[in-house]
């Protein structure tokens, strides 16, 4: 078909080969025109050399979460989707900007100007600005091929996911590609870091400042990167463009100066200023939204943009020529000096009095989640987490949750991580309401993609964190009337996933269920069932045998607000629910519930 | 600012901080003031720090203020933590209630003992109230938030009738009685203390 060093590839083929060259070893996505062939080519090539795992996921959200898990596990990862797919994946995408990555994570968004096979024409360059992440826009197959490695390097240098935005004419256009030497990449190892990957408010605020600082550094990079080229011309016309639109403009005005943006977010404003010093007329040629144009106008610079270039549909060289040609004979605007945007101020953290003990929210006394975390810690199971009260399990002293990204992300992230590490390295923990919100689809995906892992659904029969709202698992409606309640275990059976329901507060039963799962292969779900302590008043009394208690601290290590060290033995406050989790961890039988010592050997 | 008075309520989730703030807001309205309030309560039930702000005056624009004229604290550490929130010459009305956070319980940190000195260093007028003892006397320790508000009430520019309207508007009828008693006992106990606002 073509020689070894000169291939004739579609943009999608080029992205796939570019991913292999860049050392991408995990790729996933959901099919959508014009993005689909990327994974198909990757998978076909991967089958030959066996280096890459590639899979279709159930949807774009789960695909991104799976790729995030793979990136955390240390594999360079790629996720593909069409433009509207990023709407589905927007929840993990927006917070991923805060957490950053481990190994590189490249998100390919293939837009469809002209809506050849799409329900809308949204311009996903806006997502790069929205999430404050860098965006690369290849204009042809050679760039599509090379930009994957560029994106990987950027991702790792700046600890940021990178958006690689293609359009129909890039993805489904074909052009010559000269192969480049493979990029060396050593897989990274995973390290637990809750202030990076558990996005509860106190950590998210810190990360958000880093996002703003990172954006400022990316602006500097956009000025220096060879992907953004100022190409000298002979005509008194400068054109700022990117992607496929650049090729049309280049052909329409071969003598013009060009600012060709391969990295189109953030915008290199100094380079824009330099173009304005070279020519007296500047136009922005871009498909769809005035994404670049608005930013140029914000510099106070006169520019020809969407008043001439259509704001909808695809462009071509004739449209571009006809649109800009009349301006060449008009008198050029006089103003050529930009007003540079000031650096954004980042608010200072609220000054805390350093000597004062902080009071983070804690799992309530009697909370059944505590029982689960104590047991997971005992068996050295480190789960990826989700959004709900149980996110608090990430904090000291339980220290038993590694991530919190967005609703339902735990299962997809587990899938990606376990796929890369090739074993049941991590589990997933999510609540009942979160499971119904966004946990069912990734569970179906895990079944479909034959993921190994343990999913723990902490079923406390309510949406606890927000104040005990009903959900499909309880059937309780907004007006508290009863409706049909879905059974998680039967739902899992329907999906074809092994599932067992146990009483979260029955230490023995829960431990044996966990042990069974730990000894098993494949995918399993444990529903740890026990109503929220705030809805079910405790009926049992905890007593302390002061003779036996030696204040070893094991019970204090489960972080129950009802337990405190006294002078000679632990003291129990009135907040105690009598759940018995402390009694179960006590090795001296000093704590007992309703007179019965629990958990003694 | 601009003739608006700001009262911030701080405490631990579950102590009735938001209810106390609502009573004050209702009272200020009963007295004919414009009122705005805001609260941060997402984690309120999980024993975290809670902050609720009530602002009243002839015309109030913002529901939020960086500094408060009065801070009403239902817990000692939270009162201590709130000292930087107070405007100069502000007043801290603080319950003597102690709820040790986990790090203190586990011996990793020390519960602060310096609230008087820290308040004095900032020229903040401090009124310490045995809110739980007063509430117990009224019939339930759970009314400590309202007992504390009673203690603070003598220092706020509302008449008795307005307070009663505020209590009735914010508290469920079933427990209004015991709260009215707690409020009255708190108010009596501190009626003559020197707290200039």
Q: Which residues of B touch A358 (CB under 8 A)?
A: 101, 103
User: Is there a contact between B81 and A353 if contact means CB atoms under 8 Å apart?
Assistant: yes
Rounded to whole angstroms, the Cα distance separating A453 from A417 reads 10
> What distance in Å separates residue A365's CA from the closest CA in chain B?
9
User: In chain B, what percentage of residues exceed pLDDT 90?
Assistant: 79
A574: three-class secondary structure by DSSP: coil
Nearest Cβ partner of A561 from B47, B83, B110?
A: B47
Residue of B nearest to A559 (CA): B102
Which residue matches tokens 């958006």?
A163
The pLDDT of residue B155 is above 80 = yes
Rounded to whole angstroms, the Cα distance separating A158 from A147 reads 16
The pLDDT of residue A352 is above 80 = no
The pLDDT of residue B171 is above 50 = yes
The pLDDT of residue B168 is above 90 = yes
Beta strands (DSSP E) in A20-161 are 24-29, 53-56, 76-82, 105-111, 135-136
Is residue A364 within 8 angstroms of chain B, CB to CB?
yes
Select the highest-mean-pLDDT range: A46-60, A248-262, A572-586, B42-56: A248-262
Burial grade of A509 (CB within 10 A; 0-12, 13-18, 19 or more)? middle
DSSP annotation of A439 reads I
Q: Is residue A117 part of a domain?
A: yes
> How many domains, chain A?
4
Strand order in the sheet with A282-285: A228-231, A257-261, A238-241, A282-285
CA Rg value for chain A: 28
Residue of A nearest to B111 (CA): A357
Give the pLDDT score at A317.
97
CA A120 to chain centre: 24
Q: Which of A118-122, A593-597, B22-26 is least confident?
A: A593-597
Nearest-CA neighbor of A96 among A55, A56, A58, A60?
Answer: A60
Q: Which DSSP string corresponds to A198-209?
A: B--HHHHHHHHH
Nearest-CA neighbor of A528 among A371, A334, A408?
Answer: A371
Q: Which of A24-28, A355-359, B130-134, B184-188 is least confident?
A: A355-359
Please give the mean pLDDT across all residues of chain B: 91
Q: Which residues of B touch A349 (CB under 8 A)?
A: none
Give the pLDDT score at B117.
95
- Compute the CA torsion angle A419, A424, A430, A434 (nearest 10 deg): 30
User: Is there a contact between B105 and A392 if contact means CB atoms under 8 Å apart?
Assistant: no
Q: Is residue A346 part of a domain?
A: no
The tokens for A124 are 């996903």
The tokens for B77 are 């550490």
> What distance in Å separates residue B148's CA from the closest CA in chain A?
21
Rounded to whole angstroms, the Cα distance separating A151 from A142 reads 14
Rounded to whole angstroms, the Cα distance separating A556 from A542 reads 14
Shared-domain flag, residues A18 and A149: yes
A455: three-class secondary structure by DSSP: strand
3-state secondary structure B30-60: HCCCEEEEEEECCCHHHCCEEEEEEEEECCC
Q: Which residues of A touch B49 (CB under 8 A)?
A: 359
Rounded to whole angstroms, the Cα distance separating A110 from A107 reads 10
Backbone phi, psi, residue A89, to 5°:
-90, 10
Strand partners, A24: A76
Q: Is residue A12 part of a domain?
A: yes
Is residue A161 within 8 angstroms of chain B, CB to CB?
no
Shared-domain flag, residues A448 and A548: no
Residue of B nearest to A366 (CA): B46
Shared-domain flag, residues A11 and A153: yes
- Report the CATH number that the domain containing residue A54 is assigned in CATH: 3.40.50.970
User: In chain A, what percentage of residues exceed pLDDT 90?
Assistant: 87
| Distance set, CA A420 to CA A30, A65, A426, B114 (Å) | 19, 13, 11, 53
Nearest Cβ partner of A362 from B42, B46, B81?
A: B46
Q: Is residue A293 part of a domain?
A: yes
Q: Is residue A333 part of a domain?
A: no
Q: Is residue A220 part of a domain?
A: no
Q: Which of A228-237, A252-261, B149-158 is least confident?
A: B149-158
Residue of A nearest to B118 (CA): A353
Q: Which residues of B touch A364 (CB under 8 A)?
A: 45-47
Question: Average pLDDT for residues A291-319, to the nearest whole number?
Answer: 97
Beta strands (DSSP E) in A170-318 are 174-177, 228-231, 238-241, 257-261, 263-265, 282-285
Cα dihedral B27, B29, B34, B38 sign: positive
- Report the CATH number that the domain containing residue A589 is assigned in CATH: 3.30.70.20
A306: three-class secondary structure by DSSP: coil
- A520 contact partners, CB below 8 Å, separation of at least 6: A498
Q: Domain of A415?
A: 368-529
Question: Average pLDDT for residues A490-518, to the nearest whole number?
Answer: 97
- Residue A266: asked if its preceding bond is cis (omega within 30°), the reply is yes
The tokens for A330 are 């008009």
Rounded to whole angstroms, the Cα distance separating A415 from A50 reads 19
Please give the mean pLDDT across all residues of chain A: 94
DSSP annotation of A216 reads H
Nearest Cβ partner of A564 from B49, B78, B105?
A: B105
Within 13 Å of residue A12, how many CA atoms lie on the same side as its CB?
A: 26
The pLDDT of residue B44 is above 60 = no
Nearest-CA neighbor of A335 among A284, A297, A300, A305?
Answer: A300
The predicted-structure confidence for A442-483, as pLDDT tens digits, reads as follows 999 999 999 999 999 999 999 998 989 999 999 999 999 999
- B98 contact partners, CB below 8 Å, separation of at least 6: B75, B76, B77, B111
Nearest-CA neighbor of A556 among A570, A540, A546, A567?
Answer: A570
CA A21 to chain centre: 24
Shared-domain flag, residues A427 and A561: no
User: Is there a contact between B47 and A467 if contact means CB atoms under 8 Å apart?
Assistant: no
Rounded to whole angstroms, the Cα distance separating A388 from A369 reads 11
- A133 contact partners, CB below 8 Å, separation of at least 6: A97, A160, A161, A162, A163, A265
Question: Average pLDDT for residues B151-166, to the nearest whole number?
Answer: 94
| Helix-helix angle A440-448:A409-421, to 10 degrees | 20
Rounded to whole angstroms, the Cα distance separating A205 from A212 reads 11
Quickly state the pLDDT bin for B192 (edges 50, 70, 90): low
Distance in Å from the first CA to the final CA of chain B: 14
The predicted-structure confidence for B74-111, as pLDDT tens digits, reads as follows 999 999 999 999 988 899 999 999 998 888 887 889 99
Is residue A357 within 8 angstroms of chain B, CB to CB?
yes
User: Is there a contact between B110 and A357 if contact means CB atoms under 8 Å apart?
Assistant: yes
Q: Is residue A232 part of a domain?
A: yes
The tokens for A400 are 């038993």
Backbone phi, psi, residue A199, to 5°:
-90, 60
- B93 contact partners, CB below 8 Å, separation of at least 6: B70, B71, B72, B73, B127, B129, B148, B151, B152, B155, B195
Rounded to whole angstroms, the Cα distance separating A275 from A282 reads 8
Shared-domain flag, residues A464 and A379: yes
The tokens for A197 are 């990957």
Question: Average pLDDT for residues A416-437, to the nearest whole number?
Answer: 95
Shared-domain flag, residues A577 and A463: no
Give the pLDDT score at A478.
97
- Compute the CA torsion angle A407, A410, A411, A412 (nearest 10 deg): 80
The pLDDT of residue A47 is above 70 = no
Strand partners, A136: A164, A263
B-side interface with A, Cβ within 8 Å?
A: 12-13, 42-43, 45-49, 77-78, 80-81, 83-84, 100-107, 109-112
User: Is there a contact between B112 and A556 if contact means CB atoms under 8 Å apart?
Assistant: no
Which residue matches tokens 């003291």?
A571
The CATH class of the B5-189 domain is alpha beta
Indicate which of B51, B102, B136, B144 best probes the interface with A, i.e. most A CBs within 10 Å of its own CB: B102
Distance in Å from the first CA to the final CA of chain A: 72
In chain B, domain spans: 5-189
The pLDDT of residue A510 is above 60 = yes
Q: Is residue A534 part of a domain?
A: no
Which residue matches tokens 């509430």?
B135
| Distance set, CA A457 to CA A180, A200, A395, A405 (Å) | 47, 20, 19, 17
Q: Which residues of A touch B80 (CB under 8 A)?
A: 353, 356
Rounded to whole angstroms, the Cα distance separating A349 from A585 reads 39
Higher pLDDT, A46 or A158: A158
Residue of A nearest to B13 (CA): A361
A261 contacts A228 by C-beta, under 8 angstroms: yes
Shared-domain flag, residues A194 and A48: yes
Rounded to whole angstroms, the Cα distance separating A198 from A213 reads 20
Question: Average pLDDT for residues A520-529, to the nearest whole number?
Answer: 97
Give the pLDDT score at B197.
45
The tokens for A299 are 């510099």
**How many contacts, defined by CB atoms under 8 Å, are there between A and B?**
69
Shared-domain flag, residues A252 and A106: no
Please, what's the largest Cα pairwise distance for chain A?
A: 99
User: Is there a contact between B105 and A358 if contact means CB atoms under 8 Å apart?
Assistant: no
Residue of B nearest to A551 (CA): B106
The tokens for B108 are 């990793």
The pLDDT of residue A600 is above 50 = no
> What distance in Å separates residue B117's CA from the closest CA in chain A?
14
Shared-domain flag, residues A164 and A238: no
Rounded to whole angstroms, the Cα distance separating B163 from B169 reads 10
The pLDDT of residue A2 is above 60 = no
Is residue A564 within 8 angstroms of chain B, CB to CB?
yes
């Amino acid at each position: 078909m073509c020689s070894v060093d000169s291939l004739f590839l579609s943009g999608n083929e080029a992205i796939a080969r570019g991913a292999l060259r860049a050392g991408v070893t995990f790729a996933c996505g959901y099919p959508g025109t014009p993005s689909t062939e990327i994974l198909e080519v990757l998978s076909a090539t991967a089958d030959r050399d066996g280096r890459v795992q590639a899979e279709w996921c159930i949807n774009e959200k789960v695909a991104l979460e799976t790729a995030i898990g793979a990136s955390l596990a240390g594999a360079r990862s790629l996720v593909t989707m069409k433009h509207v797919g990023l709407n589905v994946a927007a929840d993990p995408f927006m917070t991923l900007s805060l957490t950053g990555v481990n190994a590189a994570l490249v998100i390919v968004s293939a837009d469809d100007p002209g809506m050849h096979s799409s329900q809308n024409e949204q311009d996903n360059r806006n997502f790069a600005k929205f999430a404050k992440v860098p965006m690369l826009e290849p204009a042809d197959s050679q760039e599509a091929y090379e930009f994957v490695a560029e994106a990987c390097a950027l991702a790792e240098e700046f600890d940021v996911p990178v958006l690689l935005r293609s359009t129909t004419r890039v993805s489904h256009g074909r052009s010559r590609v000269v192969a480049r030497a493979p990029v060396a990449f050593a897989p990274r190892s995973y390290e637990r870091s809750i202030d990076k990957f558990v996005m509860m408010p106190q950590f998210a605020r810190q990360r958000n400042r880093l996002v703003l600082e990172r954006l400022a550094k990316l602006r500097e990079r956009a000025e220096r990167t060879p992907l953004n080229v100022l190409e000298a011309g002979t005509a008194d016309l400068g054109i700022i463009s990117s992607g496929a639109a650049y090729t049309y403009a280049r052909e329409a005005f071969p003598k013009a100066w060009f600012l060709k943006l391969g990295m189109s977010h953030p915008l290199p404003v100094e380079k824009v200023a330099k173009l304005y010093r070279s020519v007296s007329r500047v136009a922005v040629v871009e498909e769809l939204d005035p994404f670049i144009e608005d930013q140029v106008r914000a510099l106070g610079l006169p520019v020809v943009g969407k008043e001439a270039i259509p704001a909808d549909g695809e462009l071509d060289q004739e449209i571009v020529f006809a649109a800009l040609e009349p301006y060449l004979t008009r008198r050029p605007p006089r103003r050529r000096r930009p007003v540079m945007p000031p650096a954004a101020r980042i608010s200072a953290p609220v000054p805390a009095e350093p000597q004062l003990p902080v009071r983070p929210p804690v799992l309530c006394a009697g909370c059944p989640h505590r029982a689960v975390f104590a047991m997971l810690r005992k068996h050295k199971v480190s789960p990826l987490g989700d959004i709900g009260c149980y996110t608090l399990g990430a904090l000291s002293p339980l220290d038993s949750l590694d991530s919190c990204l967005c609703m339902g992300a735990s299962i997809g992230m587990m899938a990606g991580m376990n796929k890369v590490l090739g074993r049941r390295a991590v589990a997933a923990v999510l609540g009942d309401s979160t499971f119904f919100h966004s946990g069912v689809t990734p569970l179906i995906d895990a079944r479909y993609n034959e993921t190994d892992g343990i999913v723990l659904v902490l079923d406390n029969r309510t949406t606890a964190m927000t104040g005990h709202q009903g959900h499909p698992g309880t059937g309780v409606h907004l007006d508290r009337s009863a409706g049909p309640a879905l059974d998680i275990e039967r739902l899992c059976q329907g999906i074809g996933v092994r599932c067992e329901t146990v009483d979260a507060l029955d230490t023995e039963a829960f431990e044996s269920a966990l042990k069974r799962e730990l000894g098993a292969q494949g995918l399993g779900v444990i529903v740890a069932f026990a109503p929220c302590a705030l809805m079910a008043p405790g009926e049992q009394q905890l007593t302390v045998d002061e003779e036996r208690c030696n204040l070893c601290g094991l019970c204090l290590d489960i972080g129950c607000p009802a337990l405190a060290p006294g002078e000679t033995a632990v003291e129990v406050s009135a907040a105690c629910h009598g759940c018995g989790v402390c009694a179960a961890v006590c090795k001296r039988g000093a704590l007992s519930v309703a007179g019965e010592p629990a958990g003694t050997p | 600012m601009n003739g608006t008075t700001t009262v911030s309520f701080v405490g631990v989730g579950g102590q009735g901080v938001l209810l106390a703030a609502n009573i004050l807001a209702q009272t200020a309205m009963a007295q004919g003031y414009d009122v705005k309030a805001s609260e941060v309560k997402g984690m309120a039930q999980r024993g975290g720090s809670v902050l609720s702000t009530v602002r009243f005056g002839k015309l109030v624009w913002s529901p939020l203020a960086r500094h408060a004229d009065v801070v009403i604290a239902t817990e000692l550490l939270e009162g201590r933590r709130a000292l930087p929130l107070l405007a100069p010459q502000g007043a801290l009305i603080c319950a003597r209630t102690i709820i040790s956070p986990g790090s203190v319980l586990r011996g990793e940190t020390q519960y602060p003992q310096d609230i008087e000195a820290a308040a004095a260093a900032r020229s903040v007028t401090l009124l310490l109230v045995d809110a739980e003892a007063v509430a117990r006397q009224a019939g339930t320790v759970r009314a400590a938030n309202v007992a504390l508000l009673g203690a603070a009430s003598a220092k706020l520019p509302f008449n008795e009738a307005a307070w009663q309207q505020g209590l009735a508007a914010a508290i469920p009828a079933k427990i209004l009685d015991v709260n009215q008693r707690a409020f009255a006992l708190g108010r009596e106990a501190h009626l003559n203390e020197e707290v200039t606002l």
